[in-house]
Structure 1
């Protein structure tokens, strides 16, 4: 669960340092990496992508969806899984789900044992179920390591997964770490104090208190002010599964396939959101799908090898039809065909047909290169946005405020000369 109270650091900024002192920045980074807890994360697709990239997963992208209506989701194709951000309430019931005693064959599921880590748990609950997608050595090694563990033990393994925790916490601020530690301290004091009013209410309220609580939950729509929670949806074995790390087991929502996966998830999300009468409550929907860059690179290289095969054939049957020197110097990528390439459709083609096919491939290459340039510009924009989100401006703000205050105090102590009054005539 992502708590509404974001939680932060330990040391305060010294007043005698420059606004952007490098040692101070290094100290903040080290503090985040050495902290044992988890901070809340912003509901942003670029942050999910950043976490994946930091653990070596380059083949999956995250796209934010802006509606849970069927007509909109029907256009969402090639979706690996969906992460749903919703207001958290412990009284949410999975009425459409079927609780299991054992996990189905091939399913990876982890319980969430760390507060505020639901974003990374939801992300891993999807990625670990992608069997035919390259995830990188770190994630594939982690999946292999946790394959024989029970969901609670996998949750402990996730809590100790240093790389993903550092990526997750890289967007938190020092005050968030301080608040998180303070909350844990207050909870420990409350649990150890037998006179605690909250503990007495929970332990001695008895069946009557629990019954009244359940009646309130059933009689009112879920109204949440603050805490939100990430839930993962994935397709395994022809069924839609709801992977909520706070639940003991996954829930089988119903049958689905690759074509109607997003539509089925939308139906489930609408069921959950129907319990919230406050339409101003924020929700977030994030789809995990194949990353464009690896696909573009793969197609670009395949086209380059086919152009190379055509050039080789033209050299044999009509050398005058080969590419000119200007074409070769224009940056056109030409690669020799590999042993696994099958260009049997070139056999029997006349010179004119081969030249026409080569021209068509060159045009496709230019379109791919343009799309790659646009993608690079978009990734550069995301990188700049991420850098701004990760930077902790608190030291700068506090230092500048201290400098302004010191300047004001110095000016107040300065004795100003009195103005001489003019003598009357």
Structure 2
């Protein structure tokens, strides 16, 4: 293997520019706030959805899924890859949608060649090919948050960690499929045309969420859709077009911040603050330190009252 895969965020801006960097054209991701078919329809032309959830560690694999049914023959007619490496599931999920929409979506030269190269492979070899793709790995890693303290390529999850997982849902050959690289095969959820997708996929997602305790709210749903600027231009909706362009600008700024290491900046800022306090003379520096200690102690006490641990970190 040529290198490790870092963790990326479930974020519409991250996913949109990640696929653009891979050569995909005229596609974007939109975060869905509610589990309503109408909200999904409002996103325009839909290719699939990516669902992020807390993975139940220690759960044993069954010969039958908790919802739907394994379709072992489907892997011969669609792109399905086993997940063979940690931290790659976000990119694997979005590729599970897009590589199955080749023809409907311009996936670009590199991804089309990858799909053709792995077309005759079984799922586990497709997963290995994905894990060892320098292009896909390097683009994926370019959207990871910069961390000067943690080597994400060496980090492994423990039972105490919260582990999150991405899976894809899309309509292929008039069937609703759940594509999860940790499962032995695609999971069929029955007949589903492209136009029926919003009405068919939402109940499936609701049933999955209902298996979690009511207090579990850590879910995220992203829709893979046609670039919303295309429809705005076709309809002459300049207000929507301007809003979408502004959103793209914000996404670019946020992605740039993710890649930047601010440790040096923070260090220089602290040096300047300390230098200023020392220059004031007298007890200014000691008073400043004591004031900071008092604020920290107060925050710890407030967190303890709310049932958090005494550590003042998130």
User: Considering the TM-score relative to the shorter chain, is it more than 0.5?
Assistant: yes
Secondary structure of 2:171's partner? strand
Normalising by structure 1, we get a TM-score of 0.57
1:277/1:370 CA distance change after superposition, 3 Å: closer
Counterpart of 2:86?
Answer: 115
Residue by residue, what CA displacement relative to the aligned partner does 1:104-132 show, whole Å, maximum 9, x if unpaired? 55311111111011100101111100032
Counterpart of 1:231?
Answer: 167
Secondary structure of 2:212's partner? coil
- Superposition misfits of 4+ residues, deviation over 6 angstroms: none
Secondary structure of 1:96's partner? coil
Counterpart of 1:139?
Answer: 111
Identify which of 26, 49, 52 aligns with 1:82. Answer: 49
Identify which of 215, 218, 240 aligns with 1:282. Answer: 218
2:23–2:108 Cα contact (<8 Å) kept: yes
2:7–2:152 Cα contact (<8 Å) kept: no
Aligned residues: 274
Counterpart of 1:240?
Answer: 176
1:96/1:179 CA distance change after superposition, 3 Å: closer
Distance in structure 2 (CA, Å) of the matches to 1:183 and 1:368: 48
Secondary structure of 1:82's partner? strand
Distance in structure 2 (CA, Å) of the matches to 1:147 and 1:40: 27
1:84/1:290 CA distance change after superposition, 3 Å: same
Q: Map 1:44-59; keep pairs closer than 5 Å.
A: 44-59=11-26
1:62/1:74 CA distance change after superposition, 3 Å: closer
- Unpaired segments of 5 or more residues in structure 1? 1-33, 188-197, 199-223, 300-363, 415-425
1:379 matches 2:248:
yes
Counterpart of 1:156?
Answer: 128
2:30–2:222 Cα contact (<8 Å) kept: yes
1:37/1:177 CA distance change after superposition, 3 Å: farther
2:13–2:248 Cα contact (<8 Å) kept: no
Identify which of 64, 74, 96 aligns with 1:103. Answer: 74
Secondary structure of 2:95's partner? helix
Counterpart of 1:389?
Answer: 258
Report the aligned-residue RMSD.
Answer: 3.2
**Displacement of 1:155 after TM fit?**
1.0
**Displacement of 1:281 after TM fit?**
2.5
**Displacement of 1:249 after TM fit?**
1.0
Distance in structure 2 (CA, Å) of the matches to 1:74 and 1:292: 12
Normalising by structure 2, we get a TM-score of 0.76
**Displacement of 1:35 after TM fit?**
8.1
Distance in structure 1 (CA, Å) of the matches to 2:155 and 2:237: 52
Distance in structure 1 (CA, Å) of the matches to 2:274 and 2:130: 47
**Displacement of 1:394 after TM fit?**
2.6
- Unpaired segments of 5 or more residues in structure 2? 283-314
Counterpart of 2:285?
Answer: none
Identify which of 126, 147, 154 aligns with 1:174. Answer: 147
Residue by residue, what CA displacement relative to the aligned partner does 1:322-353 show, whole Å, maximum 9, x if unpaired? xxxxxxxxxxxxxxxxxxxxxxxxxxxxxxxx
Distance in structure 2 (CA, Å) of the matches to 1:176 and 1:248: 36
